Amino acid sequence: MTDPAAFSPAPALGGSSRTALRIGAGLARRRAAEKRFRAYGLTAIVLALSFLVLLLGTIFSNGYTAFSQTHLRLDIEFAQDAIDPEGKGDANALADGDYQALAKAALRKAFPEVKNRRAKRRLYKLVSGDAAYELQRMVLADPSLVGQTRTVWLTASDDIDMLRKGNVAVGLPESQRRIKDDELAWVAALDKQGAIERRFDTRFFTGGDSRDPEIAGVWGAVVGSFFTLAVTLILAFPLGVMAAVYLEEFAPSNRWTNLVEVNINNLAAVPSIVFGLLGLAVFLNFLHLPRSAPIVGGIVLALMTMPTVIIAARASLQAVPPSIREAALGIGASRLQTVTDHVLPLAMPGVLTGTIIGMARALGESAPLLMIGMVAFIVDIPKSPFDPATVLPVQVYLWADSPERAFLERTSAAIIVLLAFLIVMNLSAIILRKKLEKRW
């Protein structure tokens, strides 16, 4: 304590007065505390960022391969007797043709040395089960193909796809592999001819779910999410804003409104699965709304989102200066006119921010939707909010639960689509908010 300069590198102001010495002595400690605090903050941010990078990196490195799909080139003979043996030529007859046989025949022709029945069955599995439908679609689109031979690229099976993407451990003994040695040889032969290649997979973005990973698409879930969120927004936004406006601008403050307030805050903290149970009990069992439908999912998510919207809207209504209300009332605007003409437009950016947060949470929600049957396996792309559908997070959950190796990359790819959906949604809301702010 004899020399305060030893404790603090700061130049001693005020000479050697008692106060100056005391302050000087404490200065080093204060500065160290501040430095420490900054270091903690920086560490926290670096840690958080590195985890985020790790997470996104894993998802992208696992998922980007799902955007391309392996295809095989085969010379398909559109044989009359397999497609339309009776020679009717109408669409119904063409649709009934045995297109599986065409693909099989082409494979047999490509590898004539395969005689063994088991080996043949493996050979047929080089192409996807969907190949027959691809051929059927070609013929239905152009019936003149019947009787001709064409070179066609068909979707390969998921096992071959995984092999080409390097996800099969070829070093293991044959008995432990799904892909046997002869299959490897066929693929190598096709590769030599240039008859095997990876192409951008549009079907992943345009198709519905499937049991076959190579043709499973995310579009059904995207449309389902869209319908669900549309219902949520249509219900939660106006109801939430109106509730907030009433509570903030019109309601007398008494015991009842206090009770309502407390309960709205409580509702915001209720676990989402509880809303799912409520939806099951009320909307499905009591009101008999359709099961697995976005309309019900949307209502349930709206119930879940509304407290968030109300709380955010009330906060931003409170932030509007009272002088604006007085100004409007002072020239004879009614209370409603004051709110609609002045207070609400000023509060809108804040209200929208709250709504974005609520909607983002609703987009990522799966638990309550499981309760109302949106976890079903649905192939068809929903056409309205009343059709059975699933949503993106539930699709991720379903695929993550599937045993096929190829679903792993689909899972990650679906997460990428989910994140993109979220970014698009938030971006449009932010642009909308900026526009509203500029009007003033």
Partner 1 sequence: MNQHLDLKNFVAPPDVEIHQKSAARDASDVKMSARDLNVFYADKQALFDVALDIRSRQVTSLIGPSGCGKSTFIRCLNRMNDVIDICRVEGAITLDGADIYDPAIDPVQLRALVGMVFQKPNPFPKSIYENVAYGPRLHGLAKDREELDEIVTTSLEKAGLFDEVKDRLDEPGTGLSGGQQQRLCIARAIAVSPEVILMDEPCSALDPIATARIEELIDEIRENFAIVIVTHSMQQAARVSQRTAFFHLGTLVEVGDTAEIFTNPRDQRTQDYITGRFG
Residues forming the site for partner 1 (CB under 8 A): 252-253, 321, 323-335, 337, 341-342, 346, 440
93 vs 324 by CB, closer to partner 1: 324
Q: Is 356 helix (H, G, I), strand (E, B) or coil?
A: helix
Q: What angle do CA 295, 300, 302 make, to 5 degrees?
A: 90
CB of 399 to partner 1, least distance (A): 50
Does residue 169 contact residue 85 with C-beta atoms inside 8 Å? no
59 vs 328 by CB, closer to partner 1: 328
262 vs 327 by CB, closer to partner 1: 327
Q: Could you tell me where the DSSP H helices lie in 285-363?
A: 294-318, 322-330, 335-338, 344-363
CB of 245 to partner 1, least distance (A): 15
193 vs 253 by CB, closer to partner 1: 253
CB of 243 to partner 1, least distance (A): 19
CB of 329 to partner 1, least distance (A): 6
Does residue 162 contact residue 71 with C-beta atoms inside 8 Å? no
231 vs 352 by CB, closer to partner 1: 352
CB of 323 to partner 1, least distance (A): 4
Nearest to 264 by CA among 282, 239, 235: 239
260 vs 267 by CB, closer to partner 1: 260
CB of 321 to partner 1, least distance (A): 8
Question: How far is residue 273's CA from residue 263's CA, in Å, rounded to a whole number?
Answer: 18
Nearest to 413 by CA among 221, 199, 232, 149: 221
Long-range contacts of 14-18 (CB under 8 A, 24+ apart): none
Question: How far is residue 139's CA from residue 76's CA, in Å, rounded to a whole number?
Answer: 12
